[in-house]
Copies of this chain bind each other. A is one copy, B any other.
Amino acid sequence: MKFEVTILGNASATPVYNRNPTAQLLNCNERFYLIDCGEGTQQQLIKYGFKAAKIDYIFISHLHGDHFFGLVGLLSSLHLNGRIKPLHIFGPPALKEILELQFLHSDTHLRYPINYYATNATKAEVIFKNNDIEVETIILNHRIPCTGFKFTEKKRLRKLVVDKLEKDAVPIAYYPMLKRSVNVDLPNGQQIKYLDYTTDSAKPKTYCYCSDTMYDERYFDQISNADTLYHEATFLHEMLERAIETHHTTAKQAAEIATKVKAKKLLIGHFSSRYKTLEALLEEAKSGFEHTQLAAEGKTFEI
């Protein structure tokens, strides 16, 4: 099953040096989830060849403009391009009012329904589940209410040991039960044990997205053992004071967090406009956590 994330923007606050504000596109089993939506996200989707129409779920971490100013434009374009299927938006409570005020004054009557789900930035909770994925909020520590998102693959069904099933002539009709860890009782009193004919599926992978936050151990439990941890790293550590003042993280801290929570991979992003190039940020993080990569725009990472 595909489980990968494409970076659409990695700038913080203001767009600069061809870096755009935060947005990421998560592809889980060919269903598309947009995470944050800074200004220009729809242009970035076009640039990298993605169809915005395929997005059914949008998650907004908080109401700083660099994380949602592109949303109203994206929603308008979906309308103008003929969307009729529902769209689900998870984000801070005021998001609905902000969007609807703009639709009101542009006399826009969306052809498709939007289902708004208000997130609660004080209490982590599972906010979405389908056959592929479960999404939980992560309580971050920023200047305004802000949640990250933890995307966990659904546990897959057990894998059939087909050779053995065929050798023992187990009827195909029983396969679905065995995959679901159910033993099959036969009329003759025998039992076909699922453990004999299946193996466990791969451990579900997790993607943890920490958009804007200062270093705060209270959310570390939630992101522990992430297969891929995306963590903001707005500044180099020499700017620690500024990072604390603005409730952001340094590249060194991001690496420290990845180490503490035993992440398998770390992606860093949300880079301050003061950095024309990003090598120093990558270097700083890598010296604390080797498996670090830059959340480079246009790049796709397997979770």
Contact = CB atoms under 8 A, between A and B. Distances in A.
A64 B106 contact: yes
A77 interface: yes
Contacts of A182: none
A158 to B, nearest CB: 46
A23 to B, nearest CB: 13
Contacts of A148: none
Nearest to A143: B107
A40 interface: yes
Contact of A101 (B77, B80, B97): B97
A278 interface: no
Contacts of A77: 13-15
A15 B46 CA distance: 9
A104 to B, nearest CB: 8
User: In the complex this chain forms, how many copies of it are found?
Assistant: 2
Interface residues of A, number: 37
A287 interface: no
A42 B15 contact: yes
Which of A16, A73, A143 has most B Cβ within 10 Å? A73
Contact of A65 (B15, B16, B20, B106): B106
Contact of A98 (B47, B81, B101, B108): B101
Contacts of A105: 63, 92, 94, 98, 144
Interface of A: 13-16, 18, 20-21, 39-40, 42-43, 46-47, 63-66, 69-70, 72-73, 76-77, 80-81, 92, 94, 97-98, 101-102, 105-108, 143-144
